[in-house]
Structures are given as C-alpha cells and as structure tokens.
Structure 1
C-alpha cells in the first residue's frame, strides 16, 4: 500500500462508524415491541418492533444484534491492531487487515441491502464505501511475483484448501436444499419472511462461496493467487463464522430451534481459526514481500 494516509483515514472511518453502528444496534430499544405484519406473499411475520432493527423480523433482529456484539468486541479491535502492524510493514498484519476489511465489507453490504431502511442507512453506505476501497487498496498492495514465497513450504495447503472447498460445497448445498424445492413447487422458502428476495443466499451462492472454492483450489495447486486469496478469505471466514456462532446463540436465547447448525457453524468456526493460525505461523519473515504503506 503506497499511501498510509489513505488507509489510515479509511480504516479510522470504519472504526468510528463501526462503533456508532454497533452501539446503536445493541443499545437502541425504543418502540412498541413485537408486531405482526402481512408480507407481500400473504404470510404473517412477527416484527421485532424495538430499536434500530424494529422493522426486521423477530428472528432476524436478534441475529443482527449478536453480530453487532462480535463486530464491536472482535472486529474493531482486530482492525485497530492489524492496521498498526500493517503500517509497520508486518506481513501478518497486512493479511489480518485485508481479511478483516473483507469482513466489514461483506457485513455492511448485507446491512445496506437487508437491514431494512433505518436512521443508520447513510452510516451503512459510508461503511460499505470505506471497506470496499480500503480492501481494494490492500489487495493491490501485495506483490504478485513474490506471493508464492510469502509462506513457508511446510504450510499445509491441502488441508486448508480442502477445508475451503468442502465448506463452500456444503454451504452451497445447504442453501440450494432450501431454494430448489419451493422453486419447483412454485412456492416461497420460509427464509424469505417479509423480504422480496433471498439476499444472503443469493450473494453467498453468486460471490462468496465461489470465491472460497476458487481460493481453496488455487492454494492446493500452489498458484500464486492462492497464496493471496486463501489467507485473506480464511481471516474473513473466521470472523464471519464467529458472528454466525453469535447469531445462533442469540436465537437460542429467545427459544428458537436452530437445528443441526448449532454443531455445524461452531465447527466451521473452529477450523477457520485453526487455519488462520496456521497461515500466520507459516509466514516468511521477509518484509520486502510487501509494498510499503508509506
């Protein structure tokens, strides 16, 4: 990254706006409480009715609040620490920073298009903007010709790549199992609730899961791009799965039967963090592999 000022300004903006978005999401509570709403498909959906997420369903809003806790207590501190390390020229810091920015980008892109319009709309816009461009700057700051020497040879690429591929296929089939049946019957999946389309499933199937699959395939083949995309995706996935684990706990607290995901998501979460540690431990201590931020 050639410009430290650009990254510092963008990431600092994400940190400050992220604190605003998460604290408002966690602590806002005004509103009448649960209310029933008839969706465009004629289904009765119970709305949360409180705080900034009052127009989200009673099952989705607690998930948003749970994710806000993870973003505030894990995402933002990791963003601060990784920025400091990256500015000092640390490869580990740069990997952590890029992956964490990927988490913020995906998180607030989903908030922007799914959290229902509320007073934080422009905050979500700004967070998505800042996350996207800082993520792009970080990606472009890695030197392509040196990517295959960024990690030690004993890095377990088959294990990491196999995990990324397996996870992408498993989640892909999970989403398709919930989509294809209703499509063939001419009905609507229960996950649609009062939304007009399946935003999470659509973006997962079209962008995130293919990215995981390709990253896994490339690193197994020891392709240079695999050494760039796989560690970044793993860091992103680790934080994302932590937030999903938090969402599951949030649902359990309100008495929702989450089914087998109570075992699946925490397991994926644990493996993701193991892979993150493996990447960070196997980094070559060659700071010349990074373009200077300054």
Structure 2
C-alpha cells in the first residue's frame, strides 16, 4: 500500500468523525436569539456541535455532513480500487475534491467549536492529498490516444457553464458592495467562505479546464472527470442541505430554491451522465 493510500484512509476516518458528530451529537440545548454586530436579531441553533451557528447554517451543515458520509465511503472504495484502473484514480481525485471543499467550509465557515483541531487536520490532509493525487494523474500516461483525439465541445461548454454558475453569489455581494451595507445573508458571520472558494478557485478552474478541453490540451482531459465528479457531489449535497433545513422549519423562497438548489441538482445529474460517457474511453 502506498503512503498516499494511508493518508486517504486517514481522511476517511477524520471525515466520519466530523460528519457523525455533526449529525448526531446533541447537548440537549434549544434555539436562542442573539444580536449580531450589525444590530440584527439572529436565531442560533443552540444544540450539538453547531449550537453557536444560525439555524440556517446548522441545517445546511447537517445536510452536508450526511451527504459527505456517503462521499467518504465512496472515496475509500475508489482508493482501494485505484490500482486496478485509471478511472478509479480520476474518481478518487474527484471525491477528494468534494472532501477538500467540505473541510475548508468547516475550518473557515463554522463558528469555533471543540472539533476545530479535527477540522484543521482534515483540511490539511485533504489539501496535500489532493496535491499528490493531481500531480500523479498529470504525470501518468493514463489517457488513450482515442480520447486525446476526440473533441468534447459539449463537455467543455458544460464545464464553463458550471463554473460560471457560482456568479449567482454576485446577487448578494454586489448590492452590499454598492450600498456599503452588510450582506443580506451574513447572519452572525463576518464573511462567507463559500463566496471566496467559488469565485476565486472554482470559477477560474472550471473555465480554464473548459478552454483547455476545447483546445484539446492533455490537462483539460485529465481534469475533466475530476471536476465532473465534484459537480455531482455538489448537486447531491444541496439536496441533503435542503432536506435538513426544511425539517428545521426553514422556508426556502421559491427564487432561491430554483437558483440555488434545483439548478445545482440539474448540473449534478448532467455531470454524472457526461462523466459516465467520458469514462467509457478509459480502459486501463
């Protein structure tokens, strides 16, 4: 077993800890309200590891925890099979991308709690494991010539559209920037890490991959299944988030339901189909 495999299984263990505690741990507390630094009244969840997070954030976190449990198990499965076929290596990297995103949101977006050292350790492990896996995928000769010669314009356009979907956050950012008022969804937080990750990393990565694929660059073909797998994870994660938030009595406006939930679910389904078609060419 390679050293990277040990690191991957360590990530699975850490993820199971954070996700299971997030879902099931309870302190028996109840919701309470506080005033944020902007003078707004915010209702906090008051129970479990997310007791000092807003009800909306806690519901989203629990939904993410549930879906991430599945991703962690699948990631372990792909890791075990990564030596048998290159396609499992691509899917392994894609699943790890989802875990890296998850860990970064925990480390930067959740109010401080007793799991913070685990969040940092998980984030660090995912970050360096991703570097090692992507570096390996780029160096390996794991793409058949038939794929390198094939034009995937539809997939390239889809990647660019998917990356551009994060521009939806500008709906919240621009009014706050123009008026000087706090973000409408800021609640008790000072910033939203998701905005930074999506606009600073996700957007340029997907646009760059799409352009590389259009130009038939090797890097484009190698990143495509990784990024498609990540979209699938995001698509199904928003379902879990919505289920938990609804169960907590949170009313999701139709506009946000369509723009932030249904749209990502549709992208996730399309990404899954395109990924399956792409992998038909990976026979090693």
> Shared fold (TM-score greater than 0.5)?
yes
* Preserved contact between residue 148 and residue 216 of structure 2 (Cα < 8 Å): no
2:104 to 85, 102, 109: 109
Q: Unpaired runs of 5+ in structure 1? A: 287-294
Match in the other structure for 2:266? 267
1:208 to 196, 202, 210: 202
2:15 to 8, 13, 18: 18
Return the alpha-carbon distance in structure 2 between the equivalents of residues 186 and 214 of structure 1: 32
Quick one: structure 1 residues 75 and 145, their matched pair in 2 at CA, closer, same or farther if it must change by over 3 Å? closer
What CA deviation, in whole Å up to 9, does each residue of 1:47-69 have, x standing for no partner?
Answer: 01110011110011011111111
* Preserved contact between residue 147 and residue 227 of structure 1 (Cα < 8 Å): no
Match in the other structure for 1:239? 233
1:6 to 3, 7, 10: 3
1:66 aligns with 2:63: yes
Look up the SS of the partner of 2:271 in the other structure.
helix
Return the alpha-carbon distance in structure 2 between the equivalents of residues 240 and 182 of structure 1: 26
**Which stretch of the first structure deviates more once superposed, 126-135 or 251-260?**
251-260
* Preserved contact between residue 72 and residue 99 of structure 2 (Cα < 8 Å): no
1:229 aligns with 2:229: no
Return the alpha-carbon distance in structure 1 between the equivalents of residues 78 and 211 of structure 2: 27
Return the alpha-carbon distance in structure 2 between the equivalents of residues 145 and 60 of structure 1: 41
Return the alpha-carbon distance in structure 1 between the equivalents of residues 146 and 51 of structure 2: 47
2:182 to 188, 193, 205: 188
What CA deviation, in whole Å up to 9, does each residue of 1:205-264 have, x standing for no partner?
Answer: 111111111111111221111012221111122112211221122223324224223421
Return the alpha-carbon distance in structure 2 between the equivalents of residues 65 and 281 of structure 1: 35
Look up the SS of the partner of 1:192 in the other structure.
coil
Q: Unpaired runs of 5+ in structure 2? A: none
1:142 to 137, 146, 157: 137
* Equivalent pairs, count: 279
CA RMSD, 1 decimal: 1.9
Highest RCO, 1 vs 2 (Cα 8 Å, sep ≥ 6): 1
Match in the other structure for 1:280? 279
